[in-house]
Structure 1
């Protein structure tokens, strides 16, 4: 246990140095014309060093917000929640696009017997079989799921398995929220990101890399590095850009991780400031009627 604590403290102390070293030596990991740089980028993207840079930044902001100005933490909360709302509200339009495209496919295939759809924006032809457009609908659905997850959380639309949460006092609720962020939400999404990151890269390049690969081994593998973007569909003329789904998984993990920090800060500030800060600066969408507002509040556990 002592060794683990010392290891954590050592990595926290080294985090500022690692951050400065990465900022002032971008050529070692951003020069993607060099395979070794790509391998360093892949390794450090899910490394212990990167995790502790993020974790140390989180600790510093928390300490500054509590010891100096709470407005620092409120600013972080508003910024991260604003980002979640902005991305979610934009990605939600994929749902409408999915419906329109599905209706168009049905009409073209069943009524007009059209076999393909061709688009020509800016003079460039893009022609694909109807089965390609039909399978692409899954990508729109994945966009809504992956990119709207934190937006749904901010809006209070997530499913809450409530055994005793609604019955406890205000301060106890905030303590439960903080505990859930630190011991459930952050660890779970960190592990998911760790494997999603390397899963994504295995479908973008060769040789295959794993979460257990060390940097020296990956640098050696860079000698046989080549881009190998996945373009295999489930059917001969079907959607052939399934690597985009892997990128969405990573985006989902990143959005959830940063929002877990925002939710922890919000819960902490609301616990300190009391009930008068409940929902402070919270940007939630309105409803057409008061009945919908009440129903939403009941299902979200906010009342």
Structure 2
């Protein structure tokens, strides 16, 4: 009995290892094939191309392409630290650029709220029109509900920017009292076993959740490519435009787009966190915050930085 159970466990482990290795090897082929045949998944005028894009965007194949790329770049980065530092600078620069741009949505949200209050309370208007030459007109309730989109932009698209700036709240139980290199090990562990898995899960559910509100017939994460190709024969765009109120905001599919963007940003930044932690662990305390681009409030305001 014990021998049978042991053989079963070892067999399962070998099967799992074989599956892992085969998917890593196939990742090179899948990436090259997609790169050389973009018309098969980027020509959205063709329903079959669109359905391939939907399937592969949340597929095991796409995951292993990203996973394999991470492994390859990590191996090269261990060999040449300059490559890994380059990745850190690019990924943190990307997070800063996206965050600094979409942070202005907070100001836009405040200004729009002021206009709404004036139009409702002072001018007793039921609609608001904006535009130059060609104007768009919506009910005041539409503009009021749209404010939630600006808030979602700040949350979803500024999350990694906030991480770079050191403005996230840290639940610190023992982190501050351990040695420098121990902190870096904790950061690496957190990036690999918390940030990345959560980002992958959110992406997997968010990706198909998004497309279920953009096309019909509905697609599901459990659908295999053969079933989806059959669905492609009757596939058509069906963008969700239903609001919570008759005259309310009707672009709620944009929140699904932001959910997917959030997951992608967090996954990419988890790589930056892991690489920075590894390099600082490897090079010592002298490399702490190397190349780190943080906003500054000016001389004398250092105590307030990292809290905005």
Same fold judged by TM-score > 0.5? yes
Give distance in 1, aligned partners of 2:16 and 2:190.
Answer: 23
Match of 1:103 in 2: 114
Match of 1:83 in 2: 94
Give distance in 2, aligned partners of 1:221 and 1:28.
Answer: 16
- Residues 1:258 and 2:276 are matched in the alignment: no
Give distance in 2, aligned partners of 1:260 and 1:217.
Answer: 34
Structure 1 segments unaligned to the other structure (5+ residues): none
- 1:295 CA drift (Å): 5.1
Task: Name which of 197, 204, 214 aligns with 2:224.
Answer: 214
Give distance in 2, aligned partners of 1:94 and 1:180.
Answer: 30
Length, aligned pairs only: 296
> Aligned-residue CA RMSD in angstroms?
1.4
User: 1:54-105: CA deviations, max 9, x gaps?
Assistant: 11111111111111x2111111110010010000001000000000100110
Q: Secondary structure at the match of 2:241?
A: coil
CA contact (8 A) 2:30 2:65 kept: yes
- Residues 1:33 and 2:45 are matched in the alignment: yes
Give distance in 2, aligned partners of 1:78 and 1:109.
Answer: 47
Q: Secondary structure at the match of 1:120?
A: strand
Give distance in 2, aligned partners of 1:81 and 1:115.
Answer: 44
Give distance in 2, aligned partners of 1:274 and 1:61.
Answer: 22
Give distance in 2, aligned partners of 1:154 and 1:5.
Answer: 36
- 1:293 CA drift (Å): 2.6
Match of 1:24 in 2: 36
TM-score (norm 2): 0.93
Match of 1:64 in 2: 76
- 1:210 CA drift (Å): 1.2
Match of 1:124 in 2: 134
TM-score (norm 1): 0.95
CA contact (8 A) 2:89 2:291 kept: yes
User: 1:273-299: CA deviations, max 9, x gaps?
Assistant: 000000000000112464x533556x7
- 1:9 CA drift (Å): 1.2
Match of 2:240 in 1: 230
CA contact (8 A) 2:243 2:252 kept: yes
- Residues 1:284 and 2:294 are matched in the alignment: yes
User: 1:171-220: CA deviations, max 9, x gaps?
Assistant: 00000000111111101110110000000001101111111111111111
- Residues 1:46 and 2:58 are matched in the alignment: yes
Give distance in 1, aligned partners of 2:275 and 2:165.
Answer: 17
Give distance in 2, aligned partners of 1:5 and 1:281.
Answer: 38
- Alignment of structure 1 residues 97-246 onto 2, 5 Å: 97-121=108-132, 123-246=133-256
- 1:30 CA drift (Å): 1.2
Give distance in 1, aligned partners of 2:111 and 2:174.
Answer: 42
